[in-house]
């Protein structure tokens, strides 16, 4: 992995960890930071030794949003040509699972980055919100869409239109996070979850992720059809034969990722 300026990368066994590292601006997601983040994640997505990835900030802040400084004078054409927002889409398109380990502020683009991940582990100090309305704009990196699909119309309206923020406990109650843990454990908890998933049959994990994602964008009928195709496809893998044989032989399966 190359050296980056705005993120720190670490490999923990089969898990790639990115720490956002723009502390002077509360991890504001500058275009350069987002480019580095996507580059690191896409590199691991192609690496057969990595099975899952974790994105984190620090205990005080996950990320306080898109970088307001770099947007204040921007025109629509500047925003379009920078392809800044497209970088968030690329995180949603990674084939391996990505977990956000969130403590402190996850606001605006920071919250949208967490929601673009597949799971969220929160510390009890996490705060989630879409404060863009205070800047005279709306969320632009998925906040009106991913949030509404998860918490429903009424709460999403209050968050987007009136900067209602959620504590970690509230976020858990509304189904926005997988679990809430004490601040000293949130990163280890996310890494352990990632490690467990990374040890599972890789193609089944990949297609399972694809199937769950598809549920958010299709009718039930199409979703069921898509699920069925992926399910049948897994019977072409060596890992399906190994998994079922190992179960019947009462031993642990050895996954090949084939």
Q: Which residues bind ligand CAA (CB under 6 A)?
A: 25-26, 28, 64-69, 105, 107-109, 112, 131-132, 134-135, 139-141, 143
- List the catalytic residue out of 28, 40, 66, 168: 66
Beta carbon of residue 229, minimum distance to ligand CAA (angstroms, whole number): 34
Using the minimum distance from each CB to ligand CAA, give the nearer residue, 25 or 234. Answer: 25
For residues 85 and 131, the answer to whether their CB atoms sit within 8 Å is: no
Q: Look at residue 15 and give its three-state secondary structure.
A: strand
CA atoms within 13 A on the CB side of 219: 2
Using the minimum distance from each CB to ligand CAA, give the nearer residue, 144 or 237. Answer: 144
Q: In whole angstroms, how large is the CA radius of gyration of the chain?
A: 19
Q: DSSP label at 200?
A: S
Is 13 annotated as catalytic? no
For residues 34 and 71, the answer to whether their CB atoms sit within 8 Å is: no
Question: In angstroms, rounded to a whole number, what is the distance separating the alpha carbons of residues 107 and 28?
Answer: 10
For residues 181 and 149, the answer to whether their CB atoms sit within 8 Å is: no
Using the minimum distance from each CB to ligand CAA, give the nearer residue, 69 or 228. Answer: 69
Beta carbon of residue 256, minimum distance to ligand CAA (angstroms, whole number): 40
- List the catalytic residue out of 65, 108, 109, 142: 109
**Tokens coding 21:** 């590292």
Beta carbon of residue 24, minimum distance to ligand CAA (angstroms, whole number): 6
Is 66 annotated as catalytic? yes
Is 112 annotated as catalytic? yes
Is 132 annotated as catalytic? yes
Q: DSSP label at 26?
A: T
Using the minimum distance from each CB to ligand CAA, give the nearer residue, 72 or 220. Answer: 72
Beta carbon of residue 164, minimum distance to ligand CAA (angstroms, whole number): 14
The secondary element (H helix, E strand) that includes residue 202 is: helix 202-215
Catalytic residues: 66, 109, 112, 132
């Amino acid at each position: 992995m190359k050296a980056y300026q705005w993120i720190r990368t670490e490999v923990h066994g089969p898990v790639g960890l990115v720490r956002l590292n723009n502390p002077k601006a509360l991890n504001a997601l500058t275009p350069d930071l987002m480019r580095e983040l996507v580059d690191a994640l896409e590199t691991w997505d192609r690496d057969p030794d990595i099975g899952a990835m974790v994105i984190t900030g620090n205990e005080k802040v996950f990320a306080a949003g898109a970088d307001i400084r770099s947007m204040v004078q921007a025109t629509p054409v500047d925003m379009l040509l920078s392809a800044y927002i497209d970088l968030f889409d690329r995180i949603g398109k990674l084939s391996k699972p990505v977990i956000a380990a969130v403590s402190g502020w996850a606001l605006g683009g920071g919250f949208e980055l967490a929601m673009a991940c597949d799971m969220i582990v929160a510390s009890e100090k996490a705060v989630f919100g879409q404060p863009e309305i205070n800047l005279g704009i709306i969320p632009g990196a998925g906040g009106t869409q991913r949030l509404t699909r998860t918490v429903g119309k009424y709460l999403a309206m209050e968050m987007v239109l009136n900067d209602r923020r959620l504590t970690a406990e509230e976020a858990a109650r509304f189904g926005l996070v997988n679990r809430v843990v004490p601040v000293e454990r949130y990163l280890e908890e996310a890494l352990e979850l990632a490690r467990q998933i990374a040890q599972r049959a890789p193609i089944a994990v990949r297609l399972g992720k694809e199937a769950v994602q598809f549920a958010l964008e299709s009718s039930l009928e199409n979703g069921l059809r898509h699920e069925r195709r992926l399910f049948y496809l897994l019977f072409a893998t060596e890992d399906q034969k190994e998994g079922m044989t190992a179960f019947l032989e009462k031993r642990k399966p050895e996954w090949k990722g084939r």
